[in-house]
Amino acid sequence: MKIPKIVGVELVEWKHGFGFTPIMAPGTKTYRAVSLGRMKMDAKMIGTDAPGIIKRVFGKQKCYVVVFWYSFAQDDDAADLIYEFHVVLTPETTEAEAWQQFYGDAEFWLNEEKIKELEKLVEPPIKRMSFPKGDVDREDLYKARLKVLSPVSPRTVEIFSQSITATDPAERDRLQLEAVQAYLADTVKTWSNEEFKDWQKSNPIDKKWVPDTADSLKSPVMAVDPVNFELALNWIARRYNEMKPDELAEIIYKVTGERLTPVAIRKRHYRGLGLMTKRKAGAKPKM
């Protein structure tokens, strides 16, 4: 699998979360491809945990398979195909019917606009979070999200935080490249050996980051605190910032299943995350 050159990381958000994502080098293009083949079905193709009836229908028979791929390419480099998913047609499918299926699938998979529409239905698009200078409330929220991610991505948070406040463009670019090394060190323990090797082909590890990467591989996988995550995710979106401590504690219990006292929840958002409430007079805000 070919992984493109990565030049930085950015903080992004989506409907149900937020986190870091790599930034591909300028000029990187994404391609899609569709192929049609015929092969004998085995446990690897249909899944070892597939129901018995599926194995009886498909097992040991040759079937037409439509395979969907995508690839990245930079400049004029040859693009390696990366497997996405496949669709197995029934053994009774004729060659003409298989080609009809192939052309229909290809028309959709290779249409950028249709893919974008599908992505909107499946999951709201990922939104890049720019550092909101001048907007105190959102600046505090931005910093709170970095604090929430710190236990799972401590190196990335540290370097990324320096990059977003750097005023010199050259220094900012340097820090962004450092953040790539930090991102690898923080996440590598969740990767397969193949993914790790493929990453290094285009994004070799800097010598000074080898010890951090090695230490990360030996350390246990960390998790974000669910209460802190919910507070930082929906502080403004669900108007948590307008609630009294007892109201907020009740909502957090319903969402996360963790019961905190009003005093404890205030310590979490105020002292822990630096988020201040703005409760207005009158009835509590509607969710």
Per-residue model confidence as pLDDT tens for the chain (287 residues): 567 889 999 999 987 899 999 998 887 777 788 888 887 765 555 554 544 544 555 556 788 888 887 777 766 555 566 666 778 787 888 999 989 988 888 888 888 787 777 666 655 567 788 888 888 899 999 999 999 999 999 999 999 999 999 999 999 999 999 999 999 999 998 888 888 888 898 899 999 999 999 998 888 888 899 999 999 999 999 999 999 999 999 999 999 999 999 999 999 999 999 999 876 545 555 55
* Structural domain contains residue 244: yes
Q: What is the Cα Rg of the chain in Å?
A: 24
CB burial class (10 A; 0-12, 13-18, 19+) of residue 102? buried
Which among 61, 95, 122 is the end of a domain?
Answer: 122
* Structural domain contains residue 146: yes
Domain that holds residue 96: 28-122
Looking at the fold, whether 209 and 233 belong to one and the same domain comes out as no
Looking at the fold, whether 55 and 98 belong to one and the same domain comes out as yes
